[in-house]
Structure 1
């Protein structure tokens, strides 16, 4: 006998530096020549070879049942062509192999900035309404091979999420 899957809806908030701080950083434009400071992306890429690339993602709706984290590095994501997008996140928790359900949040990110996910931040997405979006991604060259830990909410809680805005 199979159990039914519960659907939990997440309201996406517009991202701000303060709201996103438990998960990482929001990085916006700064004036040319600005001296490096705490508002710049605080990167952790020392555990391997950095990889900066453009990935093309196709529309896949706004539902998810799995969430992933990378423990060995920070990750930066941003859309090209100014397209808004959505992401679900939960803060890093080194003492557990799954995120805290009550700490999962969703954000709407405008296309004129990028996010830096703190090492260990759980994330699902990006999600968007366009047919496809190109994203730039900065992580380590082997992140998706050796540092890709996923938690499946269908298996653990008979649960999936849907982001709405």
Structure 2
């Protein structure tokens, strides 16, 4: 089974898949911190609370998902750190040769672009809670899954 090394989060490297959300440097508020994409007029915002379990070592990842018509934001509420596992699109499927795993600090959120392939959210050491925002209309197009050859992530890249 192929092992994807865990990289420290790099805002530039992650930008192909979405944006990093961090506290404002100055001022009490940062408006329009990231684009919120809703490409379907009939879809409505779903603000959900998500509990994530820690990554279990060699647990294989066997599928990736994407939300073709909506961005998907994760804002940690009680999280030490978590993994963002992503892949570029290749002919409507995740490019398995280009899967990357980023370690995201618990004080930063992420917002996947509409259509960005990603694995389910995993914390690194203890269960965690996130606020998640996505636009959905209740159809199969809300979330599309693609099987991949089993991979695992870790250890961290030096």
Deviation at 1:58, TM superposition (A): 2.7
**2:35 aligned to which of 34, 42, 51:** 42
Task: For 2:50 and 2:115, locate their aligned partners in 1 and report how far apart those are by CA, in whole Å.
Answer: 21
* Per-residue Cα deviation, 1:75-132 (whole angstroms, up to 9, x for no partner): 0013222420012101245xx2311122211100001110110111000021224342
Q: Number of residues paired by the alignment?
A: 150
- Residue correspondence of structure 1 range 11-160 to structure 2 within 5 A: 11-30=5-24, 31-33=26-28, 36=31, 40-45=33-38, 47=40, 48-59=43-54, 61=56, 62-93=59-90, 96-142=91-137, 145-153=140-148, 159-160=149-150
The answer on whether the counterparts of 1:54 and 1:136 sit within 8 Å (CA) in structure 2 is: yes
Structure 1 moving runs of 4+ over 4 Å: none
Query: Relative to 1, partners in 2 of residues 1:35 and 1:82: Cα closer, same or farther, differing over 3 Å?
Result: closer
TM-score (norm: length of structure 1): 0.80
State the structure with more CA Rg.
1
* Per-residue Cα deviation, 1:8-47 (whole angstroms, up to 9, x for no partner): 101111112111111110111113355646xx21111352
Consecutive unaligned residues in structure 1, runs of 5 or more: 1-6, 154-158
